[in-house]
Amino acid sequence: MTQSFFDEGALVAVLTTQPLDRALDYKAPEGGCHLGAFVEVPLGPRKVIGVVWGPGKGDYDYAKIRSVIRVLDAAPMRQEMRDFLTKAAAYTLTPMPAMLRLATRAPGLGDPPSMRKIYRRGTSDPDRMTDARRRVLEFLSDYGDLSFTLKELAELSGVTSSVIKGLVALEAVAEEDSPRDLPFPHMDPERPSKDLTPDQATAASQISAAVKAGDYGTTLLRGVTGSGKTEVYLEAVAAALRAGRQALVLLPEIALTAEFLKRVEERFGARPAEWHSGATMTERRRIWRMVGQGQAQLVIGARSALFLPYQNLGLIVVDEEHDTSYKQEDGVLYNARDMAVLRASLVGAQVILASATPSLESWANAQSGKYSRVDLEARFGPAVMPTMQTIDMRSEKLPSDRWVSDALKRAVDVRLAAGEQAMLFLNRRGYAPITLCRACGHQVGCDQCDARMVEHRFLKRLMCHQCGETKPMPEKCPSCDAEGRMAPVGPGVERLGEEAVKLFPEARVAVLSSDMYGSARALKAEIEGIAAGGADVIIGTQLVAKGHNFPNLTLVGVIDADLGLQGSDLRAAERTFQLMRQVAGRAGRAEKPGTAMLQTYQPEHPLIRAILAGDEEGFWRAEAAEREQAGVPPYGRMAGIILSGPDVAQVFDAANMLARNNRALAQVGAQVFGPAPAPIARIRGRHRVRLLVKAGKGVALQGAIAQWIGQLRLKGDLRLAVDIDPQSFY
C-alpha cells in the first residue's frame, strides 16, 4: 500500500512542473508531509512548485539529497486527480510535468493566504450624528452580520470612504481582516425550476436518477436547437448538489457564459464559479482554492476547468459537445470531451454530452450502447424548427463586389419591415481573406508562415490567422512596387458588414467576430445588447452558431454554404453539417417562426440536400458507414506526428528516419503515411512535416508510438508533437 504520510527526513518523490523526465527525490520537511502535498523545493539555484507523488527511490547518496523547503497552504492533491493526470498523460503521450502544469494554473499558489479589510457594525454610536454617518449605520444595521469592503460600503451607503474611516476611529464601524479567497455563495437546488415539458421532465428524471446513483456513466443528450437541453441538465446539476457533490459545466465559448450565468442564478439563487481566460488572476486563485476545499459547488468553465482540484466531483456537463474548441491544439494536445469521460470514470461521476448535432464519435458510442442516449425532438414552448431553403447562386448574376443575393436581400427587407432581426452568416473573420496586387498578381503572405494575411480593416492592418503576426496595409506592392494596385479579394465578415450597411441603410448593423472585441466582457455585453433588440441585422462568424438566443431573430442567411464542401479533412462533411444546422437553429426560437436560407452554387450536393432534409439520423448513418469502410475514427484509430524546426532539411531527415524504421508500429498492424509537408508548411518560421499513423480500433497504439518515436534523438531546435485522435490536419 502506498504510504500516505512521510515523517521528517523520509525520502519523497516530488513531481515538478519543470521539463524533467522523472520525479526527483527530496527529504520530507520538518513536521513531515502528506502524499499529494503541494510543496516548494530547491532545483538548482531556483525554488519551484511540485507535488509529493510518492516515496522516493533512494538511488542517490542520502547525504546529498536536499530537503523540501516548505509545504504550501493548499489541500493535498487527491489520489483520483493524480490518477487522472497519469492516465491522461499516458493516453496523449504527454510528459507528466506538462500535465501537472495544467493542474496548477492558478497564480500565487505558493503565497500565504492574502487578507483584505472588511467592515461591519461596531459596538458604539458616534457622539455627533450626520446624515452621511446615519446612512452608513442604518445600512449596516439593515444587513445584520454581513460585512462589506470599503468600496462596497461607500457606494451602497452613498458616502465617501473618509466618512467610514471616521466611524472606524469612533468604533461605530468595526474594521477587520478577512481572507481574500472567500467561499462561493451557497447554491440552493430546492429553488423552483422552470416548468418543463413532458419530454424535458422525462429526460431530466432519467439523467437525474443516474446522478443520484453515484456511479459513473455517460449520457448523450441530443436535442434540436431550442429544445431546452439547458433546463434538463440543470436538473441534473441540482441532483448533484443535493447529493453534496460538485458539478462542472463546460462551455465552448466565453461569450456564452453571460446568458447562461443568469439562468444558473435564477435556478439556484447564486452565481457559480466562472473559470476561463477572461477571469482575473485574483479570481482564478480563489476558484482554485475554493474548489479544492469544496467551497465552490458549481463551476462554469472552459476546457481547462477539467484540471481544477475538485474535492467531490459528481457531474460533468459538456455543452455543445461537438464543438472543435474542446480540442487543445497546442501545448498538451487533448480533447476535453474525452478527458471529461476519463475524469468522471475515476471518481464515479456522471457525464452529460449535450448537443443538437453530436460528434460522430459520441453518436457511435450511443449506438453501440457504450453511452446512454436521451432525445428532445421538439422546441420548447410555441417555437418551431425553422424552414430551410437554398438560393441557387448560379442564377443570381451578382456583380463581383456583392455577396448578398437579391433573393436574400428581399427576405431581409421583409423581416426588417416587420420589426424583426435577420442574421447574415459567413465563417470567415476579417475584411478580406486575400490582398492581391492587380499589377503582378502577388498575394501578401505572412513572413513567418506559409499563409495569406487577412485584412482587418477596423485595425487598419493585415493579420496572419496562424501566428497572429500583423503588419500595416501596404501602400504599394511588396513585389513589384506598383502603387495603388493592392486590392482585397473575397469577403470576410467586416466586408459583409460594409455591404449590409449599404443594402439596408435604415438598419442597425452589428458585426459579431471574436477578434473585434478587446475583451470577453465587451463581447458578452454586445451579445446581450443584440439579444435585447440592439441591432436589426447581425453579421457573424461561427461564434454566433454557439448557443446564443436572440428571441426576435427570424431569418438566417448563410452567405457561402459551400465553404466546407471541398475539405480534405475526414470530418469536413460532419463539421459543415453541424455548422449549418446550428446556425440555422438561431432563427425562430420564440413565438415567431424562422427561416434559414443557404446561398450555394451546388444545391444538388448530397451534403446540402442532407442539411435541407434535416434527417440527422440518416446523415449520421451514411457518414458512419463511410468511415467504417475506410477504417477511420470512430471505427479505427489515428495519430498525427508533427515534426518542426527552422531547418527544413533537418526536419525531413528526421521524419524520413521515422518512416523507414517503423517496426514497432508494423508489429501491431499500424500503417504510417508520409512524411509530407503539413498543409500549412511553415508557422512562426518553423517548417512543419507530418506523418499519419492509422490502426485498427482495438490496437494499443500509444505504447507502439512511444517505442517508435523513442528511436529519435531530437537535436538542436527540432521538436516533435504527438496528436492522438487528431481533429484537424493543418
DSSP one-letter code for 157: H
Residue type, 427: N
Q: How confident is the model at residue 516 (pLDDT cuts 50, 70, 90)?
A: low
Can you read off the three cell numbers belonging to residue 586?
438561431
Sign of CA dihedral 284, 286, 289, 294: negative
The backbone torsions φ and ψ at residue 58, rounded to the nearest 5 degrees and listed phi first, read: 75, 25
> For 610-630, what is the mean pLDDT?
89
Coil, helix or strand at residue 296: coil
- Supply the pLDDT for residue 52: 97
**Band of pLDDT at residue 673, cut at 50, 70 and 90:** very high
| In the block, residue with C-alpha cell 428524471 | 205
State the burial class of residue 2 (Cβ atoms within 10 Å of its Cβ: 0-12, 13-18, 19+).
exposed
For the chain, how many helices (H) and strands (E)? Answer: 20, 31
Class of domain 115-179: mainly alpha
Confidence check: pLDDT of 515 > 80: no
Q: CA 276: distance to chain centroid?
A: 8
3-class secondary structure, 288:
helix
Kindly tell me if the per-residue pLDDT of 608 is higher than 60.
yes
Question: Per CATH, the architecture of 5-83 is what?
Answer: 3-Layer(aba) Sandwich (3.40)
Confidence of residue 383 (pLDDT cuts 50, 70, 90): low
How many other CB atoms are found less than 10 A from the CB of residue 198?
7
Strands 24-27 and 33-34: unpaired
Beta-ladder partners of 351:
218, 316
Long-range contacts, 329-335 (Cβ 8 Å, 24+): 329/727, 329/728, 331/98, 332/92, 332/94, 332/98, 332/99, 332/102, 333/92, 333/94, 333/721, 333/722, 333/723, 333/724, 334/88, 334/92, 334/94, 335/725, 335/727
- Each residue of 674-710: pLDDT tens digit? 899 888 888 888 999 999 999 999 898 999 999 999 9
| E strand map for 570-660 | 595-600, 636-645
State the average pLDDT for the chain: 88
Domain locations along the chain: 5-83, 115-179, 198-376, 387-428+491-623, 636-724
Please state, for a pLDDT cut of 70, what percent of the chain lies above it: 95
d(CA 214, CA 20): 38
Is it the case that residue 550 has pLDDT exceeding 70?
A: yes
**Are residues 116 and 177 in contact, defined by beta-carbon separation less than 8 angstroms?**
yes
C-alpha to C-alpha distance for 281 and 288, rounded to whole angstroms: 11
Instruction: Give the C-alpha separation, 604 to 601, whole Å.
Output: 9
Listed in sequence order, the residues at least 6 apart from 4 whose beta carbon sits closer than 8 Å to its beta carbon are: 34, 35
Q: Which cell numbers in the block locate residue 410?
A: 428581399
What pLDDT digit, counting tens, does each position of 249-276 carry? 999 877 556 778 888 999 999 989 999 8
Global pTM reads 0.83
pLDDT reading at 46 higher than 80: yes
Spatial distance between the Cα atoms of 379 and 90, rounded to a whole number of angstroms? 42
Give the whole-angstrom CA distance, residue 179 versus residue 382: 49
Query: pLDDT, tens digit, for every residue of 635-669?
Result: 999 999 999 999 999 999 999 999 999 999 999 99
**Could you tell me how far CA 647 lies from the centroid of its own chain?**
34
Q: Above 80 in pLDDT, residue 125?
A: yes
Q: Which CATH class is domain 198-376?
A: alpha beta
SS3 of residue 51 by DSSP: strand
* Residue 389 · residue 257 · CB < 8 Å: no
Q: Does residue 1 surpass a pLDDT of 50?
A: no
3-state secondary structure of 704: helix
Query: Exposure string (b/e) for 285-304, b if CB count within 10 Å is 16 or more?
Result: bbbbbbbbeebbbbbbbbbb
Beta bridge partners of residue 577, listed in sequence order: none
The whole-angstrom distance between residue 461's C-alpha and the CA centroid of its chain comes to: 27
Interatomic CA distance for residues 81 and 691, integer angstroms? 33
Fold (CATH) for 636-724: Alpha-Beta Plaits (3.30.70)
pLDDT single digits (tens) 31-45: 999 999 999 999 999
Local structure of residue 76 (DSSP, 8 states): P
- For every residue of 315-374, DSSP letters joined together read EEEEETTT-GGGB--SSS--BHHHHHHHHHHHHT-EEEEEESS--HHHHHHHHTTSSEEE
Q: What is the pLDDT of residue 99?
A: 95
In angstroms, the first-to-last Cα distance of the chain is 46
Say which CATH topology domain 387-428+491-623 has: Rossmann fold (3.40.50)
348: closest CA among 245, 242, 216, 239?
216
- Answer whether 5-83 and 636-724 agree in fold: no
Instruction: Point out the least confidently predicted range of 34-43, 222-231, 418-427.
Output: 222-231
Q: Nearest 10 degrees: CA dihedral of 704, 706, 708, 712?
A: 180
Side-chain half-sphere exposure of 640, counting CA atoms within 13 A: 22
- 56 CB-contact burial (10 Å; exposed 0-12 / middle 13-18 / buried 19+): buried
CA 649, 652, 657, 663: dihedral to nearest 10 degrees? 180
Give SS3 for 222: strand
Bridge partners (DSSP) listed for residue 5: 34
Backbone φ, ψ for residue 651 (5° rounding): -65, -45
C-alpha distances (whole Å) from 251 to each of 259, 413, 419, 727 are 12, 34, 32, 18
Residue 507 CA to residue 486 CA, distance in Å, equals: 31
Extract the C-alpha cell encoding 709: 518515436
